[in-house]
Every structure is written in structure tokens, then in C-alpha cells.
Chain A
Amino acid sequence: TQLLEQSPQFLSIQEGENLTVYCNSSSVFSSLQWYRQEPGEGPVLLVTVVTGGEVKKLKRLTFQFGDARKDSSLHITAAQPGDTGLYLCAGHPSGTYKYIFGTGTRLKVLA
């Protein structure tokens, strides 16, 4: 059972466009993290969101944690080719020590 569902699965956009990636669950998470993974490498942590309703900004990336701590979103403004990669959300479902990953969103930004 996949507890973290991401949408869309694939996204191909032109440079300069905006996009949003969603991470949804029926379970409550104590926190959620977002990672970016490039081919041949391990995922690299981008951000952690902890509080329901929290919004964090990292340059052109905006992360939001849902009020009920069951979902999160990643918004990229004015995408650049360097944003290309696999974006993954992850976290510990409340009450467990398992650290699980979402299904992933593969983003390609065309110049």
C-alpha cells in the first residue's frame, strides 16, 4: 500500500512556466520532506515542513504543508532547465518509525 501519492507523475514544461506538484495521503504525518533526485545520484533534501499550514520558500520553490498534515505541495515559479529531476516527498506516518517516499514526479524543463 502506497501511503504517499504524488501527482502528476510526469511533467514536461517550457522554461519560464510555473508548476505545482502534489503529495497526498490518507494518513497524518508528523512532518514531510521534499527531495530532488538527479540521474545516478541519491535524493537530496530540499526542505522539511513540520506545522500544519506551514509555508516555506526556497528561492523560486514554495512548499506548503496541509492544515491536517496529510498533504503537501511544491510550487516552482519560472521553471529553469536546472530544475529538471525527480521530485519526491517523504515522511514518517504518525506513530511509526518507517520513513516512506511518495511515488515521485519526474519534471523536465525545456529550454
Chain B
Amino acid sequence: NAGVTQTPKFQVLKTGQSMTLQCAQDMNHEYMSWYRQDPGMGLRLIHYSVGAGITDQGEVPNGYNVSRSTTEDFPLRLLSAAPSQTSVYFCASSYSGQSFGYTFGSGTRLTVV
């Protein structure tokens, strides 16, 4: 099994550009989440989804959009990149219910110049 696959692994954007970070999982997990991690910090929740067609905002949603048209895919869109969005982005998924841990992708390192 591939688990959680994120693409791309690295990306450099210019201020104002838009892009989509891709996330796919093959474990039939209902829950999926996007996080950003800044140097030396923990993970902050951007957006999350509890199933296809259902998304909600996390702790730091401004500047980001998500959609969940299928169980497998949960793309994160940066609308107009800003230097403050320079970070490492992680996608994660889990079985439904509140006693399961999450499986993480390997991350996308994004630099906005």
C-alpha cells in the first residue's frame, strides 16, 4: 500500500501565484486533514474533512481552500501565495471515530519568494 501520497515534494512560488498541493490515500480513510509546520514548531491545522463532500476550517484556514470530491483525494489550494505561507505542508488521514491515530504523508516543502 502506498499510504498517503503528497505531491510535489518541493515547490517554489512567486508572491501572488496560485497552486494546488495534491494528497491521495489508498486506505479508505474517511478523515483527512491538512497541516502546516513552521521551523521548530508543532503542526497547525489548516482544513479538515470527515468524508467526501464535507470540509471545515481548522486553526489557520486563511489563504487556503480545500475540496473533497472523493474519499481518496483531498487537494489544498493556495489562492494567492504570500511569503508567510512558506512552510512544510503535511496531509494526513485516519479511520472515522475519535480513537484512531493519523497516517501522514512525507510532506511538501513550499517556499514563497
- Interface residues of chain A, those whose CB is within 8 Å of chain B, are 6, 30-31, 33, 35, 40-45, 48, 50, 88, 90-92, 97-104, 106
Contact = CB atoms under 8 A, between A and B. Distances in A.
B92 A42 contact: yes
A30 B99 contact: yes
B58 interface: yes
Contact of B99 (A50, A98, A100): A50
Contact of B98 (A31, A41, A88, A103): A31
Contact of B104 (A43, A50, A102): A43
Interface size grouping (class) on chain B: 20 to 34
B41 interface: yes
Contacts of A44: 104
A30 B98 contact: yes
Nearest to A104: B42
A50 to B, nearest CB: 5
A103 B106 CA distance: 20
A31 B104 CA distance: 18
Nearest to A45: B101
Contacts of A6: 42
